[in-house]
Amino acid sequence: MTGIVAVSHSAKLAESVLELAMEMGRDHLKVASAGGVDDPENPIGTDAMKIFEAIEKVYSDDGVLVFMDMGSAIMSTELALDFFDEERRSNIHLCEAPFVEGIVAATALAATGAGIEEIIEEARFSVRGKASQLGVDYAAIYGGGSTGADAESGDKAIGKEFTLKNTMGLHARPAARLVAAIAQAGANVRVRNLSKGSAYVSGRSMNSLLSLNAQQHDVVELLFPESGSEALMAEIAEMFQSNFGESTAPAPRRRPSLEKEAGTNLPENGLLTGLPISPGYAVGPVVKRTMSLPDVEEQNADDPQAEQQLLEDALEKAAEEIETIKRQSIAEIGEEDAAIFDAQILLLRDPELLSGVEERIIQGKTAASAWRSGLNDVVSLYQNIGENTLLSTRMIDLIDVGIRVLENITGIRYSAATPDQPSILCMNDISPSDAASLEPDKVLAICCESGSDVSHSAIIARSLGIPTIFNIGKIMHKIPEGEMAAVNAETGELFVNPDQAVLARIATERERWLEVKQKAHLSRKEKGQTGCGTRLRVLANVGNEHEINQVLDLGAEGVGLFRTEFLFMERTKVPDEQEQFEAYKLAAKALGKKRPLTIRTLDVGGDKPVPYLHIEGEENPFLGRRGIRYCLDERDLFKTQLRAILRASAYGHIEIMFPMIANIGELEAAFQLLDEAAAELDAQNQKYDKDLKKGIMVEVPAAVENLKEILPLVDFVSIGTNDLSQYVMAADRTNAAVSGLASYYQPAVLRVIERVIRMANESGTDVSMCGEMARDTLVSPLLVAWGLRKYSMSAAGIPEFKYMARKIHQERFADLSGAIAGCTSPDEVRETLRRFAAS
């Protein structure tokens, strides 16, 4: 590994610069300082012998890079070189780069094991970030402009700057997309956070990208090899322009006291409070678990090659295990949230982590101790960055996968979150995979010392329906194992050794809560209907063909929304017709001829970008080229999908639904392409359902205004309440500042929805709802009163929806409709619906 030496007239300056650099590098680097002279009265100066000793201390055949602050420091360093023989002297390089920026940049790159020439060029290039921030024309002053040397090819490097506009900044998912694109291109791309003055890190290292702590509005710079990077630059530029498909709402204010200070004793009343994560109630004994990297004894190995193989086998097995957890989690938390495990797999393959581990194995360490030490390096890097909720979450992910690999290396089980008997699980923190593997019948509730409501574990806990409280504080270590406790996760309260009155109250609430869940589960496969016998068709929203059997088991009577975007995501080219056909066919056959499969055509755009489709970034993607607008512009791509859907319709009851329709012209253009696709299949004697039902999503206010003309042309309409609400209220539902406006409880939104249902029923056109509102049992009586008879929702909500629907009776429908018509605010609407439900 390259050694770094800082030579300065001031001992304090040399030491401080190295200290700064080490915070951005690794603790195993070879660095040394040679500052000042040994004269207490006149300490400022340079000493050739000190410099010689510093170089000797870090000398390596990989090279030594020496930085000098000014003047006599250079002469003293050149004098020091005379003490080395010719062979060793040839490996010592004096660098003219800026003292502070150069050392920081060189140290960061040296930590990756880069070669001396690449490190020198990196150091020389380090001043460009400062020049850019100050508006200085780097090219005019220093020459070469935005170019440097590329380590792999020897070509020049092109610097591109991007501003992060998405709310969460460069967190795991955007970082994973960058790593995947750079790795696939086989390019050496370096990245730094200009806004925080960081050194360059490898674009292939997810850990390094996350360590940049690049947040919303930060400017990051990427260095691309000049030769052959055009496609990669365009792809990455599009990611930034589309904000990685995420919201650009202002970052939410940090919740206070996400990490509470340790206390000394439990409160006298035994009440601890925290952050409510997943609602519910629990009473039971406390079982305590700790999630941390286990200690591994530092050991030497006789066969490095065997240890390397052991590591590779453990990594491969860990990846397989995480893939299994992801597949199992899709049914519970959905395709999008289950993608958090993709980020964990990338952490397993992080090149900087692996290079440090492999180096230790080569030096004679066992796979277990090398892996444990390598993990500690990266965890320490995260800890040194400072307080940051998102980075804390990433560290939990790293510890999670780290423990998994250690278990596969050693055969020892280090983590076992699920208790042996029904208990309240108390932990310092809980990892995503532990949360996903919990057995709900044995985990009555989860209570953690720390944690955030945006963490992966929080997402999973909510999806599993386990009552959960985070951020209770370090005082939890005072809770005795086996102590009786009660949890009210609606309010975030944990009662330790509660009195009989509290126990009785929580137990009563829990019984009522469990009764609803149990009855709903047992009756989930009964047909959907109200208490007065009105038939309700209850369908599922599905993200891919593999979810069909799972949603049927939860009581779905078909699929009311089959999203096709999954076929286009996480890949580098458009899926061909045959691949799409096979997916749609598999789903159709799983449902059979009697249960509908409503396929929504491709719904992508600036809000849901697909890199290889070259969707341009837009200032307001929700009002831009998305859904049917994009497909009508890309007719060949669209017709390929239509042909695949038509071919699959021969194998089941398929219906086709077009998203974002606003006017008759768009609908007619879509129908024309569908007819062309059908004619092509006829010419090839391909079978398809010639009576295929066609419909639209009603999610644009213009579609409501044009509904009288649209209804005669379609077989059905489906109300997409998520988009319709935000468009009616002109409020981005992903923007925390205004998301409250984009509510389907808004009287204006309700009036629009009632109008669609009434007009569709009057025309005899099938009408359904597939937004979040469809599963909201509080508003169900109102929708039934208005005449809505078909609901499509996430499968997890189906059992409770059916159960609560059987409590709806039509005797008071007129009263409810009249009361809602008089409401002037969302709160008033909710209160009216609650009174109706309680009466």
* Residues recognised as catalytic: 456, 770
Residue 64: alpha-carbon gap to chain centroid: 41
Give the Å distances, CA to CA, from 69 to 41, 90, 420: 21, 22, 63
Contact status, residue 446 vs residue 466, Cβ threshold 8 Å: yes
Phi-psi domain of 599 (left: phi exceeds 0; alpha: psi -120 through 50; beta: other): beta
Q: Which residue matches tokens 């940090």? A: 254
Q: How many helices (H) and strands (E) does the chain have?
A: 32, 24
* Cα torsion 110, 112, 117, 118: sign: negative
CA distance 448 to 471: 6
Amino acid at 654: I
Backbone dihedral angles phi then psi of residue 198, each to the nearest 5 degrees: -80, 165
Amino acid at 442: K
Q: CA-CA-CA-CA torsion for 310, 313, 316, 320, nearest 10 degrees? A: -120
**Cβ count within 10 A of residue 700:** 23
Residues, the chain: 839
Look up residue 617 and give its DSSP letter.
Answer: P
Contact status, residue 508 vs residue 298, Cβ threshold 8 Å: no
CA distance 306 to 299: 14
Contact status, residue 536 vs residue 784, Cβ threshold 8 Å: yes
CA distance 828 to 743: 13
CA distance 544 to 386: 40
Task: Record the tokens describing residue 315, joined without a space.
Answer: 């990594």
Task: Record the tokens describing residue 200, joined without a space.
Answer: 């360059």
**493-496 and 271-273 strand pairing:** antiparallel
Measure the CA angle with vertex 352, ends 349 and 355; round to 5°.
90
Q: Which residue matches tokens 């329906």? A: 465
**How far is the first Cα of the chain from the last one, in angstroms, to the nearest whole number?**
75
**Cβ count within 10 A of residue 487:** 25
Q: CA-CA-CA-CA torsion for 305, 309, 312, 314, nearest 10 degrees? A: -130
Task: Record the tokens describing residue 115, joined without a space.
Answer: 């070669």
DSSP per residue, 136-204: --HHHHHSSTT--B-TTT--BEEEEEEE--STT-S-HHHHHHHHHHHHHHT---EEEEGGGTPPPEETT
Which residues partner with 655 through β-bridges? 598, 693
Residue 630: alpha-carbon gap to chain centroid: 25
Rg (CA), the chain: 31
- Sequence-separated (6 or more) residues with CB below 8 Å from residue 240: 162, 163, 164, 165, 617
Write out 467-530 in H/E/C secondary structure.
CEEECCCHHHHHCCCCCEEEEECCCCEEEECCCHHHHHHHHHHHHHHHHHHHHHHHCCCCCCEC
Closest of 579, 578, 580, 536 to residue 558, by C-alpha:
536
Longest C-alpha distance within the chain, in Å?
Answer: 101
Task: Record the tokens describing residue 726, joined without a space.
Answer: 């935000």
Q: H helices within 386-445, ranges in order?
A: 389-410, 432-436
Contact status, residue 414 vs residue 407, Cβ threshold 8 Å: yes
